[in-house]
Structure 1
C-alpha cells in the first residue's frame, strides 16, 4: 500500500567531532565505524538508510546534503539515491523549508502530503520507524501543524532540546500537546525540566507540505526550489525552536533505544568489533578503541579505556572516562586541536584520494601531490580544469583514457600530461592506482567544468 508521505534525511551537517577521521569533506555521519549485521563496517548514514529499507520506507526517502558531500553520499548509498542539494548548512528550519520547496516545485507533490524530516545522526532500534509511519495519521487527526517524536529525558545533556507537553495528553491517540521547546537549556534548567517529565527531541518531525509552503509565501520568499536555493545564503537566521513555539505542535513518544551519535562516547556501543580492544586493568576488562587509517602501525601500551584515532589529518587520543566540563556545566564536546589547511584524505564515488604533499607560493599558485585509487569499472568525471594542469603517473593497473574525445589505453608506468582547458577522463579497466601532480589555482570554486559524470553518456564502450 502506497503511503502519503515523503522522508527527507538531513545529511548535510559538517560536524567533525570524530576528527581526525572526519574532515571538511567527510563529516561525522559518513565515517564507517559502526557494525553491520553481516559483520562489516558502515557509517551512520548507511545504517539509517539500511533501517529505512528494512521498514519498507526507503522508496519514500530522499537525502539532503551539501554539494561537497553529495559525491561521498552517493558512493555510500548508491548512485541512484535521490539527493536534494543544500548550498550551505543553515540549520533545521531552513533545511526543512528547502526540502518543502523541492517537493512542491520539483516533485510536484500534493499540498496535503506529509513531509517527515529525519536526522542523520541517531542510533535507534527498528521500532523507531513505526513512529515514523504513524506521523501522517497523527498529524491529520490531531489538527496540529507540526508533530515531533520525543524520548523521555533521563537527565539533561549538552545541546539537546527539552520539550514539555500537556501531561494529560490524549492517550487514545498516543500524542501530547507541546507546551514549550527549549533548544539549549543550561544544566540547571535541564535538571528542572527533566524532573517535570520533559522529553528529548529525537530530531524527527513531520508537517503538511502546504503548511511550510504557506510560511515561505507569507515571508515573501519563493516556494520554488531553484529560487530558494539561490537566496539560501542570504536568508536571515531562524531557529527550529521558534517554529515550534509559533506553531500548533504535538508530540508522539518513542520508548525504544535512542542515542544521538555525536561523539566518541555516544558511538561506543555501536562500534565495529575490530575497533574495540579489551585490556585487563584494575582486575577487570577495560575496552579501548583504535582506528588507524595510516600505513604505519600504532602501538599504545600502559593505558586503558582510551580511544586512539589516526589518519593523514592527524592523531587523536581521548580518555573515554570523561573530560573537562564547559562553561554551561556539560562535558566539553571536543578538545582543542590543530586543523590542516585542507583535508589530507577524500572519499570519492570512484575510490579514494590522499594528499602526499602541498605547497603554496607567493605568486598565488599552488602545487599538490596526491595518490589516487580507483575501483575497477569506475571513472572520473569528463571535465575541464580552467586554471590548473595535471600530471599523472600510473603506478598499478590499466585504464581507458579520454583526452579531448580521443580514447587510448594507459597501464603501469605510463605518464599523462593534462594542460589547462583540456577535456579529460579516466575509466579503470582493473583496480587502478596513480600519482597526480596538480599545479595552478587549486582552490578556485569555478575551476572545474563537468561535461559528463558517466562513461555511457560519452558514447564509448569500455574494453
Structure 2
C-alpha cells in the first residue's frame, strides 16, 4: 500500500513548543512503556506499520521540516520536499510525480493521502486498505474517508453522502458551518471531511498535467514557486463527478490546540513539574531544565520551552495565534538530521548553543567568515576535522575554530557540545558548505 502523509503547519497554536520549524507533529508527548515519549509523527508511523508492515510511506513536506522528520524516523520513509509552501493540491501533485518518476511506483497502483497528525486508533489505518481497494474500481476516481461526527463542529467541512450506507456516492460538500447549520447537516447523515482520500496514481498524474504545464517531477519541482496556491478540495475534490465516501466511526481527534492535545495525554506532567492536591485538570509540558510548581490551579495548561512560557486557561489557549504572531525572535530550539540544538544565551557579540549530535552523525563541513567558534565537549566522544587536521575528542576537550577555518565534528557516541560563537556579525547566513574529502 502506498501512503502519502501531508506534513505542514506553522506551529503557532502549540507555542512555545512549536514554531515554523518544529510543528505540532514533532512534539513528544505520548508516553512509551519504557518511560520515553513519542511524537504524533512517530505514533502515526508505528500505527501504520503495525497494520501493514510493507506499507510504503512518503511524507510530503516543506524544506524546514525535513531535518525533524529525518531525526525522528531516520531513513524509514521517503520524503517529497516542497521547495516552498503552495497548499495541498501542488503538494499532492508533486508527491504523485515523485512516486511515479523517482520511486517508480506504477501508475495503476492506488495511493492513500492523509494528514500526518490525526489522533486515532489502528482501525483508522486498517481502513486505508479498503479505501485503496475502492479506488481501484473503475466507477470511482476518488474515494474519501468521512468521519462520523460526534458533535456539531464549526471547525470542519462536511461531506453530504447520497445515503447512509458505509459506502456511498457523494451528494455535495459544505464549507465550515455555524453550530446550528452543522446540526442540520448531521441530521442529513453528513460526515466530517478529515482530509483522507484515495485514487489511482494515474488519475492524479492526469489531473496534475491538466491543471499545471510541466513535463515530469523534476520540471514540476523547478517550477513549483510559480504555482498557484490552491487546496486539493477546491482544485480536484469538489469538481469530481465520480466520487465515493466511506464512513469511519472509530476514534478520531484533531489535536490542534493545547486544549485538545491535553485530552490525549497519558500523564498530567511531562518534564519537571509538581502539582499540589488542590489542582484540577491541570497539565504541564516542560522542556526546560528547571522545575515548575503549580498550586490551586484549575483548567490550566502550562507549556515551557526554549522559545517561551505559556500559562493559559485551556479554553482560551485556542485563541493563541494572534498573540504569537506578535512575538518576533529567532528559533531557540530545532531538530536537525544529525541531532538538535538549543540556544541557551544571546549577547551582543556572542551566542551560546547546546548541541546534541547523534552517534554516527556529523555536521556539514563548513566555515564562517565573520565569527570564531569555541566547542567544549561535555559528553561522549568523536572526531573533529579543522582545515584538514583530524583529532579525537572526549568530554572536557575544547576546540577553538577561527573565522574562515573549514570544520566539522563526527560523533562516535552521542556527543553533547557547548558551542560559543564570537563576533560582531553573528548571522545564520554566514555559512559556506564544502564537500568532505574521502
Q: TM-score, normalised by structure 1?
A: 0.84
Q: Does 1:347 align with 2:340?
A: no
The verdict on how the C-alpha distance between 1:58 and 1:115 changes in structure 2, with shifts beyond 3 A counting, is same
**Residue segments in structure 1 that go unaligned for 5+ positions in a row:** 325-330, 361-365, 453-457
Aligned to 1:408: 391
> 2 CA distance for matches of 1:450 and 1:386?
12
The verdict on how the C-alpha distance between 1:160 and 1:448 changes in structure 2, with shifts beyond 3 A counting, is farther
Q: How does 1:89-128 map to 2 (within 5 A)?
A: 89-128=85-124
Deviation at 1:25, TM superposition (A): 1.8
Q: How does 1:240-279 map to 2 (within 5 A)?
A: 240-242=232-234, 243-247=236-240, 248-273=242-267, 275=269
Q: Does 1:382 align with 2:364?
A: yes
The verdict on how the C-alpha distance between 1:292 and 1:370 changes in structure 2, with shifts beyond 3 A counting, is same
Aligned to 1:292: 286
The verdict on how the C-alpha distance between 1:159 and 1:315 changes in structure 2, with shifts beyond 3 A counting, is same
> 2 CA distance for matches of 1:293 and 1:70?
22
Deviation at 1:388, TM superposition (A): 4.4
Aligned to 1:216: 208
Equivalent position to 2:38, from 39, 42, 45? 42
Equivalent position to 2:406, from 409, 417, 423? 423
Q: Does 1:396 align with 2:378?
A: yes
**Residue segments in structure 2 that go unaligned for 5+ positions in a row:** none
Equivalent position to 1:180, from 153, 172, 175? 172
The verdict on how the C-alpha distance between 1:267 and 1:450 changes in structure 2, with shifts beyond 3 A counting, is farther
The verdict on how the C-alpha distance between 1:429 and 1:241 changes in structure 2, with shifts beyond 3 A counting, is closer
Partners of 2:368 and 2:403 within 8 A in 1? no
- 3-state SS of paired residue (1:262): coil
> 1 CA distance for matches of 2:321 and 2:431?
35
Aligned to 2:417: 434
Partners of 1:65 and 1:85 within 8 A in 2? yes
> 2 CA distance for matches of 1:204 and 1:64?
14
Deviation at 1:334, TM superposition (A): 4.5
Deviation at 1:396, TM superposition (A): 1.5
Deviation at 1:138, TM superposition (A): 0.9
1:189-225 Cα shifts (integer Å, max 9, x gaps)? 3333223221012221111111111122223422522
> 2 CA distance for matches of 1:70 and 1:53?
21
Aligned length: 428
- 3-state SS of paired residue (1:212): helix
Equivalent position to 2:433, from 435, 449, 456? 449
Aligned to 1:136: 132
> 2 CA distance for matches of 1:383 and 1:187?
56
